[in-house]
Amino acid sequence: MKAVLQRVSEARVSIHNEEVASIKQGLLILIGIVANDTPDDIKWLSNKIVNCRIFPDDAQVMNNSILQNQGDIIVVSQFTLHANTKKGHRPSYIAAAKPEIAIPIYEAFIKQLESDLGKPVQTGAFGADMQVQLINDGPVTLIIDTEHK
């Protein structure tokens, strides 16, 4: 699994001009799934995200996690995170898991994240053509890949 974490002051996701998710302070997470992702990857990544100290403390130093900050999360599936751009000019997405494999992993990741965060997580719709708007706070953007855990 590969996740792009973006610390946001606000974010929203729309599908066909209808808003399906909206948060103020928190994280917008783009998540890419490969076929060999495991339940251990799900647990590891969720734990890493909720405990990642990328929010400012009272001294404006990045010492707080989203748990301490009590922020919200939006998760958006994004198979293009696993694009291979090595050859030619058209990316290959062959590494990304097919929907029949990816959807159960995506849903399990969301459930784990909600459990670790202690509250509901908002989402886009898996495989939908979504419009994502955000104000990246900082900007702070991290890439976390379970392949490198």
What one-character DSSP code corresponds to residue 43? H
Q: Which residues on adjacent β-strands are paired with residue 15?
A: 18, 130
Q: Which of the residues 55, 79, 109, 126 is marked catalytic?
A: 79
Verify whether residue 55 is a known catalytic residue: no
Q: Catalytic pick from 38, 68, 70, 80?
A: 80
Check if 78 is active-site: yes
Cα 106 → chain centroid: 10
For residues 73 and 90, give the distance between their C-alpha atoms in angstroms, rounded to a whole number. Answer: 32
Cβ contact 52:26 at 8 Å: no
* Per annotation, catalytic residue among 6, 78, 122, 146: 78
DSSP structural state of residue 96: B
Give the Cα separation of 99 and 21 in Å (integer). 21
Respond yes or no: is residue 126 known to be catalytic. Answer: no
Active site residues: 78-80
